[in-house]
Structure 1
Amino acid sequence: VLTALVDLLNAGIHPVMPSLGSIGAGDLVLMTAIAHTLIGEGDADYQGRRMPSAKALMMARLAPVSLAPKDGLSLINASAVSTGAGALALIDALSALEQQEQAGALTMEAFGANRTILDPRLHLARPAACQQLAAKALRDLLTRDATPAPTTLQDPLSIRCMPSIHGALIQAIDHARLTVEIELNASADNPLVLANDSLVLSTGNFHTASLSLAFETLGLAIAQCAAASAARFIQLTGSTRHGLPKYLSPIGGASAGFVPLQKTVTAILAAIRHKANPVMLDFLPVSEGVEDHATQTPLAVAKCVEMIVLWRRLIALELMAAAQAVDLREGLTLAPATSAIHAAVRAHVPTLKEDRPLGSHADALHAVLADGYWLPAVHQILLD
């Protein structure tokens, strides 16, 4: 059976699987799609087309599998859908976090923020939740020969508390990664065959409460980070107290500048906050009361994935506003890394010189960010 699964992947045959149907007590309903394709039933995607699995197997010159005792149960009695989706979500979360750090650093440059918030001694005094790692990431991005004088003593909390906010997210990602790695290397089968002991034991190993909780927590940490990004956007585009033109408009007067995007930012953040509400407690007893508890892990992971997509849109908007603010500060010299970040934004979004629709530029920048590795220049600078 394992060889047959590998053959499916190598042939490019992908079972068509429903997105709903699992309540997190094992992904039984969803996993049946894989088993169906193996035996030539159900539908599959092959060469970009949906077709009956039997036809896909025939076209790929593969034969349907004849299952031996317990093979069918082993194929479906697992949490592979939740675990696999979670692993992919973590890759996206890590890349979005890196981009958020870059956006935050560029915002600090644009504000003329007080760099003392990144002093390692401050974070040694409160070594909470990866805060030191988060502060170091921002310090590295802002490293230069001479530190510019800050424009204020105490910046807004969305700037001043970035190490704490990002640190909590780093910790949430690390915890989610640990739970995913456990699931990837575990047996969630029920019953479990202990061949060495000649035993077959009933288990509850398919129940993924820890995985669901990890992604609920990750979602909350993402929402915190997104809220801070949104707040920085509002600070950049609204108030003039930081010495920036109102609405980041270079012409002033009745110019709207970036202010229409404040509504977009608010709407995106509202969607993120909505998805941050927990789902793992929403279940009903099924199977005549035998399955009277569930974790809703697939839903917890799925909404976390959706939050990352929305969060990355906020990052794109913060980058746009920060780059505009940098352009409006005369005589500002950026650090090498933030200079590369600014140049990368400008490669896709021109400076706003007069009012124009900004939605298409926001979409273009988001698309570049969603590639996952948008700025090799910064990596090279940090390595050097």
Structure 2
Amino acid sequence: QCVSLAPKDGLSLISASAVSAGSGALAAADALSAFAQQQQAGALTIEGIGANQTILDPRLQAARPAAGQQQAAQGLRDLLARDKAPMPATLQDPLSIRCMPSIHGVLLQAIDQARQAVEIELNAAADNPLVLGDDDTVLSTGNFHTPSLSLAFETLSLAIAQCAAACAARFIQLTGSGRNGLPKYLSPVGGASAGFVPLQKTVSAILAAIRHRANPVMLDFLQVSEGVEDHATQAPLAVSKCADMIVLWQRLIAFELMAAAQAVDLRDGLTLAPGTAGIHAAVRALVAPLREDRALGIDAEALYAALATGTWLP
């Protein structure tokens, strides 16, 4: 069915600025949803690996009030809240666990910067020329140029890559040779069982794809149109690659949730906090515990689908 275009609709359909703002709004919303899921996966890992929860002490966060760090730590504390935290299995955990508030906090800041950049574009007059009705004037303008939007999503891409790398590192810690008293490879049967180890290669490949997309593109342009258009922001590409990274990142979150839930099941005598108990139950509603070696790809796909489609409700 043909659509009847109103004034300026045609420009919106072909303008790089318009498509960047629209797709950027969707990507920023998706990033915020994935951030909440990453917080949940991180909290369940803290439970499963028996991490030292003093890293979340608000006094530590106040001593270094880096961007978003206090908010991220508060979110993790809420998920792990109980009358008494369990005794940690070790004093100092790997940095992907111990520095979770810092890593998640800077991502939260980057998401907020992307949101602000998108909101400016959605509410801006970016026409060229720009009609100033009150002054009965038409002026040439460069308001269509979106370097702030491009830079915001390049920054968000780097922050996602940092968070995804920590997520992948925690998966390796959970599924490795047996940290903090966990069985080797998270296998309950031991011996020659591969457990979760085959998924380590998948996690590594996904992280490589994320790192590749994290490389900035906003400097990659040539002058065109006889030198008139001698600068570009590559905002559509910056936004689209960021959106692709969110999809890959959610796959890593699914893997971390699976491994953390298995670690929880294998840790005798552990009573979860109400928040993490809900997360664990949501995983188990989709993925059964690993009792003997089986292909885990179908389980990972089911969990990823729940995260990506919004049906994930811990």
Q: TM-score, normalised by structure 1?
A: 0.79
> Is 1:105 aligned to residue 43 of structure 2?
yes
Question: Quick one: which of 119, 125, 128 aligns to 1:187?
Answer: 125
Q: Secondary structure at the match of 1:295?
A: coil
Decide whether the 8 Å contact of 1:78 with 1:189 is kept in 2. no
Report how far residue 241 of structure 1 moved: 3.1
Letter in 2 for 1:199: T
2:216 pairs with one of 268, 278, 282: 278
1:331 counterpart = 2:269: yes
> Which residue in 2 is equivalent to 1:246?
184
**Equivalent in the alignment of 2:109:** 171
Residue among 28, 38, 45 paired with 1:90: 28
Distance in 1, Cα, partners of 2:66 & 2:13: 42
Pair 1:343-2:263 in alignment:
no
The corresponding residue for 1:142 is 80
Deviations 1:139-161 (A, max 9, x none): 00000111111111100000000
Counting only pairs closer than 5 Å after superposition, residues 112-123 of structure 1 correspond to structure 2 as: 112-123=50-61
Match of residue 226, structure 1, among 147, 164, 168? 164
**Whole-Å Cα distance in 2 between the matches of residues 151 and 233 of structure 1?**
17
Task: Name the SS for the 1:79 alignment partner.
Answer: helix
CA distance in 2 between counterparts of 1:314 and 1:73 reads 38
The separation in 2 between residues aligned to 1:306 and 1:297, in whole angstroms, is: 14
The CA deviation string for residues 17-55 of structure 1, in whole angstroms up to 9 with x for no partner, is xxxxxxxxxxxxxxxxxxxxxxxxxxxxxxxxxxxxxxx
- Identical columns (%): 77
Q: Which AA in structure 2 matches 1:97? A: F
Following superposition, the deviation at residue 239 of structure 1 comes to 2.7
Q: Structure 2 CA distance, aligned partners of 1:78 and 1:206? A: 9
Q: Please tell me whether residue 318 in structure 1 is matched to residue 263 in structure 2.
A: no
- 1:126 maps to what in 2? 64
Deviation at 1:197, TM superposition (A): 1.2
Question: Does the C-alpha gap of structure 1 residues 292 and 148 become closer, same or farther in structure 2, counting only changes over 3 Å?
Answer: same
Aligned to 1:47: none
Which amino acid in the other structure matches residue 20 of structure 2?
S
The answer to whether the 8 Å contact 1:77/1:189 transfers is no
Distance 1:350 1:75 in 2: 46
SS at match of 1:272: helix
The residue type equivalent to 2:188 in the other structure is: P
Residues 327 and 199 (structure 1), Cα distance of their counterparts in 2 relative to 1, 3 Å cut: same
RMSD: 1.5
Q: Give, in angstroms, the shift of residue 171 of structure 1.
A: 0.2
In the alignment, structure 1 segments of 5+ residues that lack a partner are: 1-55, 378-384
Secondary structure in structure 2 of the residue aligned to 1:193: strand
Unaligned runs of 5+ in 2: none
Name the CA distance, whole Å, in 1 between partners of 2:295 and 2:160. Answer: 28
Q: Aligned AA for 2:53?
A: R
Contact kept in structure 1, 2:150 and 2:234, CA below 8 Å: yes
Which runs of structure 2 are paired with 1:252-263 in the superposition (5 Å)? Answer: 252-263=190-201
Decide which of 130, 138, 143 is 1:200's aligned counterpart.
138
1:373 and 1:171 mapped to 2: Cα distance? 26
* Cα displacement (A) at 1:316: 0.2
